[in-house]
Structures are given as C-alpha cells and as structure tokens.
Structure 1
Amino acid sequence: MGLTAALYVRVSTSKQAASDLSIPDQIKQCGAYCDRLGWTVVDIFTEPGASALDDDRPMFQDMIYKATRPERPYDYVVVHSLSRFSRDALHSELYVRQLRKAGVELVSITQDVGQDVNGEFIRKVLNIFDEHQSRENAKHVHRAMLENARQGFWNGARPPFGYDVSVKEVRGIKEKKVLVVKDEEATVVQRIFDLALGALGRPLGVKAIASHLNDRAITRRGQRFSTGSIHEILTSTTYVGRHYFNRKDSRSGRARPPSQWVEFAVPAIIEETPFNAVQGLLRSRNPKNTPPRVVNGPTLLAGVARCGYCGSALIQNTGKGGAYRYYCCSRKLKEGRHSCRGIRLPMDRLDGIVIGQVIEQVLDPDRLKKVLEQYLLAAVDRADRNRDRIDLLRQKHRDVQTSLARLLTLVEQGVMEAEDPSLRERLSGLKLQRDELAVDIADLQKRLASNEPEITPERIERFAHLLREQLLHGTPEFRQAYARLVMSEVSVTEKEIQIRGSRDILAKAVSQQPGDSPPAVLTFVREWRCCQTNANWSPFALPKPPSADKKSTPLCESGGAGGLVVIA
C-alpha cells in the first residue's frame, strides 16, 4: 500500500452545513488532489458547524488522536486551506508539531508553501492572518448582534423555556425575530412560581419543585427538571419582561459584567411582585443564611429550639438505629460534653409540651384577647391611626425608591461596580421591601374604605380555633409553619422552657385571617425573626396557668418542666 491520507473538512456553522455546498466541494477538491499524487484516502473527517478558533472540536480531536496512533494509519492530513485546520496560530502550531512527531504532515491544497524553512515561515504568517481575520469578523458580527438586541430582536439562540420565536418583520433577506409566549410552557413556568410562593400549599424549595414536576411527568422540552434548571427559571428576569443579551462570552463561557449587558423587553409571564418575593425566599434559604435542615427538615421546632445554657440550636439526634429521635444541643454534639452541659430530650415529648403550652396559654381565645387587648382597645380610633400609618408607609416607600435610584446612579457614575454581588443582593432586597410596603399600603387603604376593624373578638376566636386545629391535627408542613407563626424562639434547660413570640406578628396574622395554606410569611426570611437578641425584647409574661401550680412531669432525670410563655 502506498502513501495514505485523511481529509479534514469544516464549516463554521450548522446552518452552513445544511444549506451550503462548501463541505462537498472541499471533499471533492481534496480527493482529486490526493488522486493526482497517488495517495489513498483512508478517512474523511467532517466537522459541520465548529469555529476554527476553538480546538475542542469532536471530529478534529478524533482525527488528531487517530493520526498520532503508533500504527500510523496516515502519512498526510489534507485540508482545503490552513484556515480549515485552525484559525488560532498557537493551536495550529502545537497540533502541527504533534502530527510531525508522529510522522504525519499537514498539507493545504490551496496553499502549498512547502516543508522547508521558508515554507514554515510562510505557514506561520498565514496562520496569524487567518486568526486576525477571524477575530475581526467575529467583532463585526458581535457588534451587529448587539445592535439587533438593542432594537428588541432575538439573535437566533434557543429561546428560554416558556417562549418561542416568531418573525416580526423582514429586512431584505434577513428575518427579524422576537420572543413570544409559548402557552403550554408558560403554564409550567407559572406553576413553578406558584409552588415557590406556596400558592398551592407550603412554599417549596428548588429540589422539592423539581421532584413535584418530575413525579407528574412534566418535562422541560423532553428533559427532566433539576435543581439547576428550576433555580435558573426562578431567577431569570426574562419572565418579568426584561431579557439581557451578551451576559456571557460565547467562546469562553465566562460571565460578562452587567455594564456590557443589553436589555430589551419581552412578553412577561410572571408579574414583578411575586418574582421579587421569590428572590427574597431564595436568598433567605441560601445555606449561607439558613441551614438546609431548617428549610427542608420535618422537625417541628427546627430553627426555633435553642439550648438554654449556651444558646446553640437544638438539632435532631437519633438512637436505636433511628427508632428514637431526640433534640440535642448542637454545640455539645460537635465539641463534646465539656463545651456545654447541654440537654438531650425525646423529640415527641418536647414537641408535645411546647405545643400544649402554646395552645393553653396563647391560643385560648380569652388569653389571646388579653395578649392583643391593646389592639382591641384601639379599634375605635383605628381609622385615624391607619391614615397616619399610610402616610408613614408612603414615606418609607418613597425612601426605598430613592435608595434604589441612588444605587443605580452610583453604578452609572462608576462609584460602584455593577457586577458586585453585594450590590445585586441590596437591589433585590430593596425591590422586595418596596413591594411589601406597596402591599401594606393597599391593605390599609382597603380597610379604610370598608371601615372594617383589623382585629375583632370574633376574628381572634376564629384565628385561635384555626391554629389549635392545625397544631394538633395538621400535616407536618402545616404544623411547622403555624408553630413558627406563634413562636420565634424556644429556649430549653433541664428545669425550664421559655417560649418567645411577637405580639405584632400575632396581630398581623389575626387581621389577615390565614386560611387553608400555610402563611407565606413563614418562609425563612430572617426579618420575620427580628427578636432574637435580648436588646430587641420587651417581654410580657402571661399569667401562670392553673396547671403550672401542679407538680410538673420531669423532662429528664435531672430536671423538671417549666412552662413560661413570653410574648414580645
């Protein structure tokens, strides 16, 4: 067998491969060249739609691998022009040397520069010109795509889930396309946001949402949902009508600074208020802020129960191979018994004592009326106070709007970097605060218009009954959510349990009359647990219930059970 050759042919885009004649023509000319020289074509490597600036091309790498095998299947690699092999001068030189080391020569049928020193020089110069030309072309194409995005047109990538593309107009031979809502996918997007906000029950995290959809055979264009795809949907501003082009470098995949993004309007699928609320929930669930066991765990007092000796969280511990569950001081478990005297209590027993005390001392309608008596006494002048409060809330709303404007001005002036993560978090927090203030203002305006008191004895009685039922007979998710409505901290020692809560949160809950869904406010936004330091507490101890005078049942061998409920 004589000399052998492998042909490598390439075009830059899959569209060219589908409609152009370049690949067949390259194969024909390269084959004819080999026939004239008496070389046998052993393999043809066809690369449809791959940039020559990138060496991570499947067929190219396959060709390099086979050409450098010890059995030497080829003597030559034949290309139509050097630009078909590579447009990166460094990559081209490295692979040419790798081929030569294996005894294989690269041959261009249109640029026969020879194999001597002068030919090597000319080949390297041609590689540099090819690289420069490719980068210049890319620069002009990118500039055109930026302008296309500024005019509100789609640049041809696969549209985001929930959208399709439609031709809006034709300019010459160019079709100008825009994003349009794809109804069947948009319904899934809306469902994802509803699940995240708890519109269909307890607010779900990204993993729970993915499982919910996958269990029901709901897919993302034929692919199962993952935590990554759910998080991408929940955080994408495209769904509120603001899409950003040029967020990443298409070659390196690296994120570009926001100052280089191009924003254009698209049809919205989600309103901005629920979108901002979801961002607040995601931020509060971040493992850096809240441990995952608090967000996802079934433990009733997770994130609420604390060791009364050292202040560390009480976490779940098991015994007898998981047959028994206990609350244990996390510090003692991690650092040993010398770090804290700690406690270890059966989980069911502590849950029962705490819920029993809350039902008896807080959720008894008469006791709850006493706790909220100042709100009942103030019902007659509530309208005047609400008008004053509306003015105050409006001022706060204006202040938040001003803060947002100032931050954006600082970015425009270059004082702050637009890609600063802390700036992004601050903007998200201000938007959420703005939306919450707007909701409070609308709620107060509605009450003023209806002249309905916020809190009445009847509302208190209904609320107390609802919570008693949920805490005693609700599902684990409902029990956990409503328990946190009443309690912000449960401090436990061997002789005493202190349960703390907030009168303001109770009052707001009574006025809103939560229904069949867990209250959305009980997701893990830390602002709702604002009374975790003694400096913020103004404790009010309820009168000791008659049962407290009786001999208490010991919590453990060395102590008894106290029952002090404190409302802040």
Structure 2
Amino acid sequence: MTTQPIRAALYVRVSTTRQAEADLSIPDQVKQLTAYCERKGWQVAETYIEPGASALDDDRPVFQDMIAAATSVAHPYDHVVVHSLSRFSRDVLDSALYGRKLEKAGVSLVSITQEVGDDANGKLIRTILNAFDEHSSRENAKHTHRAMMENARQGFWNGSRPPFGYALAVKERRGTKDKKVLVINEDEAQTVRLIFDLYLGRHGKPLGLKAICTHLNWRGITRRGHAWGIGSLQDLMTSSTYCGRHLFNRTESRTGRQRPDAECVEMAVPAIISEEVYLQVRAALHDRSPRKTPPRVVNGPTMLASVARCAHCGAAMILNTGKGHRYYACSSHAKKGKTVCKGQRIRMDRLDDMVMEYLGSKVFDPDRLEQALKSYMDAHETGTAIRREQLRQMRARRGDVDAARARLFGMVETGAVEAHDPMLKERLDQMKLQAADLDSQIAALQDDLLSGVPTITPEKIRLLAAQMRERLRTGPPELRQAYMRLLLNSVVVGAEEICLSGSNAVLERLAAQGVSASASEVITFARKWRPGRDSNP
C-alpha cells in the first residue's frame, strides 16, 4: 500500500512593493521554507507569493486564494508553511479567524522560526506572538506616518506618484536620501488648463464633464496613457493642488475614508491655475450638480422647462403628448387630478413661438430696450455722485464679507465651530468667491469713474438687441433654451393671457458685458450625440 506524501503550501509575503522589487526577501524566504520542508520530508505542492501587501488586514488576493484552496473539499495541503507568524497575519483577530478555518479543514499552520505546539499552551503563545506583531506593526506605521507628515510640512513629496500635471525634481540631498518636490510638467499642465477652460466656456460654450471627456478622448489627449472618465475628471477639477495648495494625508490609505482638514498638511506647490478659476469651477460644479438642477430640466425637449407655470395653481408646466403634438400641461392636474387644479394645457410649439416672438419684438426692440435700461443710463448722466455711492456700497459689502470671515475664525478659536467642519470650508470658499466678485465690480466702477465712459451706451444696447434677436431666431435649440432660463423668471400660462417676468439686472449685465461673455452663465448641460461623426452618417 502506497502512503500519500505529506503536502505543504508555502506562503511568502513582503509588505511593500519596494521590497518586492529589490527581489531579496522573497527568494530568501522561499529558499528557507523549501529547505525546511525537505528536512521534514514534506512535498511542496504550491508556493504562494504576495508582493507588497500589508498583513494588518486580509485584503490580499494571493492570501485569499491560498485559504480557499487549503479549505476546499479536495484538501490539497496538510500544512501551510510560513517564515514567521507575522508573514501570515499581523492582526490578532484575522490570525485567529483564518487559523481556525485551516484547523477545521485539517490543515496546520507552521512557522519555521516560531515553532509552537498545537496544544492549549501553544495556542496561547501563538496569540501572544500575534498581539506583539500587531502592536509592533502599528507602532512602526505610527512613526512612519509622523515622519511623512513632517516631510510634507517642509514642502517635500512623500514618494507616491505625482498628480497629473506635475513631475518630481530633487531639491536637496540629506544623507543618502533625495528630497523631492513637485514641479510643473508643462505638457500635462496644458491639458489641465484646457479642462478648466472648457468647463468655464473660454473656448466657446461651456462643456459638462461627459462632454469634456469626449472632447479629450476623441482628440487622443490621454491621462498618462489612460482614457479620461467622469470620475477622474471630477477628482482633478475639485483638487486644490492645481491652484497651489496640496493637501497631504487627505484620505486614509486602507479604507479610502476622507480625513477632516484638521488632520491634513497643506503643502505649497507650483500653481497651474489661479485660485479664482479654481473657486469658479467649484461653484459651477455645485450649481450644475444633477442633485440641484436635473439634466432633464436643461437638456430635455421642453424649451421652457422649470420656467412655465400654471396661472391657476402655480405648479410647473410639464411635457404632455396627445393627438400628434407636444403640450405644456399643469403638473398638478396631471398628477393629482382636476380636484386640485382645473388644469392648463397649451401646445408646446405655440407657446415657444409666442414667447420667442415677444422677446424678439418687444424686450429686444432697440427703443424699448433702451427705455428699460434708461434708469441705468440716467444714473451715469447725473454725474459721478451716484457711481461714487455705488462704489461706497460695494466697498461696504466687501468689508462685510471680511468681517463675516473674521467672525467665523473667531468662532473656531472659541471652539463654537470645529475647524474641520466641512460646512465651514464650504462657507469660506463661498466667501472667497463673493469677495472676488465684489473686487471685480469695484474695479469696474473705479475704471468707470476714472475714464468717464459709461459701461452701457446706446451703441451697446442696439448691438445687444441685434445679437439677441438673431440668437433667439436662428440659434441652436440648446442655446435658445438656455437664454430662456437666463432671461425669464417665469412664464405664467392662464386661460386668457400669458404673463412673462424677468429681471432688468440680466439685461444690464448682457448690455455691459456683451452676449458672448454671458455664455458661461447660460449653458449648464450640453447633449452630445455622435460627436466624432463616427457612425450613422
């Protein structure tokens, strides 16, 4: 009768990829484990090698494969052999759990440098050794993390791959170590600037995240060899690194959890974009979020989506179909019945044409538009007194913003607000953007006072009237729809009349800045079908 040899599986692990790349520890472990099995007369059935994996958790693919094979019905191994118990696991709970799984499957865990028995005393010693391994590993991690935090405070990079748009350069040498810092990779930085410009509409109409991905991928502009995706693009656009403020220790490496700002170290790095551009994009991302403004509102087939209202109950008018036509219909009537609202219903093309015709012939009639903006022009003609008062008010509002920021910082100092409260950071970002906007308005008023030239002139008003009538008459549907949302606060549809309301402030801004400058405030989402004309010609 032939006796089946005792079979063993070898498990070899190192903690970091740097150790694995050095190719020293792994061959030495394999050599020692193989020699041990030969001395015991055991047959090595399989060797499992896990490079660059921490033993503080069980998220190790090779380790899981070994456990699955060892505990299978086939029972391919009698022993799992490791160099030391710390190679198997440095977590007491995981070590006990997986050790119990092996034991139930009839497989013993053997350490060639820490041989303990399988009796009660041996199990106790093994538990104590595991506890020491876990404590030692966590202490080492704590000291390493503290050193990395100090390295970041001094402005040096900690060894991970630099963000897209940057490269590493050696700044100085300390002992045997090169201390590196981030420098701008100009080739990648051009792509970063292009992304922010496309989102803000500096090369035409603003593009959304998906449209920017399509734009980049179609032109072969990759992210270090990889195609752009919405997730990677949003991570880039929300990273403060690109405006010169890199946050080290932002996420927990094992869990991916976002740490509060109080636990981060802010490093000064070369800026690829200005902080003003970064804040503008952050604000636009917030405003364009589907949670705040669903894409169907802007991108759907209804020209007056979110603008048209029922005169009877005030509910929104939604798309309704019937008899081969599209209609605007009262949403309350459609969803709750005629007991709530008797309902208003009007053909979509008819209402759209009436609104467009009214805007073109009435609102943007040059004489009527000049009359609507007469108060602004009269204010300029009365002299500099009013503009100086406006400037004083703007400066007062700017001072109020600074005072509000000071109060927030005071609340942090007294402990009324936590420094790492996410609402605090969001509020401070809003204040920065508000301050930048006020500074821009103050600068415009100062230039106006110095030059004596009015911001709005009759020539600008007539140019605006001509441009807007042309856009409303022949512009693409998404642009016309966007201008509807910008110009109109509401279109109230009644049985006998339709009431349009809007703000003169929008007209003033368009007249002062020009139509093209307002495009970024108009377009939010842009539908792109067949952007490369690669199918269905």
Quote how far apart the aligned CAs of 1:518 are.
4.6
Identify the range of structure 1 (156-165 vs 202-211) with the bigger mean alpha-carbon deviation: 202-211
**2 CA distance for matches of 1:38 and 1:137?**
38
Match of 1:259 among 247, 252, 262: 262
**2 CA distance for matches of 1:337 and 1:269?**
58
**1:408 alignment partner in structure 2:** 409
1:78-227 matches, within 5 Å, as 78-227=81-230
Please give the TM-score of this superposition, normalised by the length of structure 1. 0.88
Counterpart secondary structure, 1:519: helix
**1:514 alignment partner in structure 2:** 515
Quote how far apart the aligned CAs of 1:319 are.
4.8
**2 CA distance for matches of 1:454 and 1:37?**
93
Residue identity opposite 1:395 in structure 2: A
**1:496-517: CA deviation from partner (whole Å, max 9, x where unpaired):** 11111112221222122223x6
Identify the range of structure 1 (304-313 vs 51-60) with the bigger mean alpha-carbon deviation: 304-313
**1:353 alignment partner in structure 2:** 354
Do the aligned partners of 1:285 and 1:295 also contact (CA within 8 Å) in 2?
no
List runs of 5+ in structure 2 lacking aligned partners.
525-537
Residue identity opposite 2:461 in structure 1: I
Alpha-carbon spacing, 1:36–1:365, altered in 2? closer, same or farther (3 Å)? same
**2 CA distance for matches of 1:412 and 1:432?**
23
List runs of 5+ in structure 1 lacking aligned partners.
525-568
Do the aligned partners of 2:156 and 2:181 also contact (CA within 8 Å) in 1?
yes
Q: RMSD of the alignment, in Å?
A: 2.0
**1:238 alignment partner in structure 2:** 241
**2 CA distance for matches of 1:246 and 1:419?**
14
Counterpart secondary structure, 2:139: helix
**1:124-166: CA deviation from partner (whole Å, max 9, x where unpaired):** 1000000000000000000001001111111112222222222
**2:330 alignment partner in structure 1:** 329
Alpha-carbon spacing, 1:294–1:380, altered in 2? closer, same or farther (3 Å)? same
Quote how far apart the aligned CAs of 1:356 are.
0.5
Quote how far apart the aligned CAs of 1:257 are.
1.6
Alpha-carbon spacing, 1:208–1:312, altered in 2? closer, same or farther (3 Å)? farther
**1 CA distance for matches of 2:233 and 2:344?**
40
Quote how far apart the aligned CAs of 1:482 are.
2.9
Do the aligned partners of 1:447 and 1:453 also contact (CA within 8 Å) in 2?
yes
**1 CA distance for matches of 2:523 and 2:411?**
32
Residue identity opposite 1:381 in structure 2: T
Do the aligned partners of 1:310 and 1:340 also contact (CA within 8 Å) in 2?
yes
Do the aligned partners of 1:164 and 1:182 also contact (CA within 8 Å) in 2?
yes
1:528-547 matches, within 5 Å, as none
**2 CA distance for matches of 1:458 and 1:134?**
75
**2 CA distance for matches of 1:325 and 1:61?**
58
Quote how far apart the aligned CAs of 1:324 are.
4.1
Residue identity opposite 1:459 in structure 2: K
**1 CA distance for matches of 2:470 and 2:100?**
78
Residue identity opposite 1:17 in structure 2: A
**1 CA distance for matches of 2:227 and 2:317?**
37
1:490 aligns with 2:491: yes
Identify the range of structure 1 (411-420 vs 348-357) with the bigger mean alpha-carbon deviation: 411-420
Quote how far apart the aligned CAs of 1:522 are.
3.4
**2:534 alignment partner in structure 1:** none
Alpha-carbon spacing, 1:518–1:440, altered in 2? closer, same or farther (3 Å)? closer
Do the aligned partners of 2:206 and 2:519 also contact (CA within 8 Å) in 1?
no
**1 CA distance for matches of 2:279 and 2:5?**
71
**2:531 alignment partner in structure 1:** none
**1:205-255: CA deviation from partner (whole Å, max 9, x where unpaired):** 223322332333332222222222222122111111001111122122222
Do the aligned partners of 1:318 and 1:324 also contact (CA within 8 Å) in 2?
yes
Do the aligned partners of 1:202 and 1:477 also contact (CA within 8 Å) in 2?
no
**2:503 alignment partner in structure 1:** 502
Counterpart secondary structure, 2:202: coil
**2 CA distance for matches of 1:419 and 1:217?**
40
**2:52 alignment partner in structure 1:** 49
Residue identity opposite 1:512 in structure 2: Q
1:383-394 matches, within 5 Å, as 383-394=384-395
Do the aligned partners of 1:210 and 1:226 also contact (CA within 8 Å) in 2?
yes
**1 CA distance for matches of 2:184 and 2:220?**
22
**1:4 alignment partner in structure 2:** 7
**1:497-549: CA deviation from partner (whole Å, max 9, x where unpaired):** 1111112221222122223x65333367xxxxxxxxxxxxxxxxxxxxxxxxx
**1 CA distance for matches of 2:484 and 2:93?**
65
Please give the TM-score of this superposition, normalised by the length of structure 2. 0.93
**2 CA distance for matches of 1:44 and 1:366?**
87
Identify the range of structure 1 (229-238 vs 62-71) with the bigger mean alpha-carbon deviation: 229-238
**1 CA distance for matches of 2:476 and 2:247?**
42
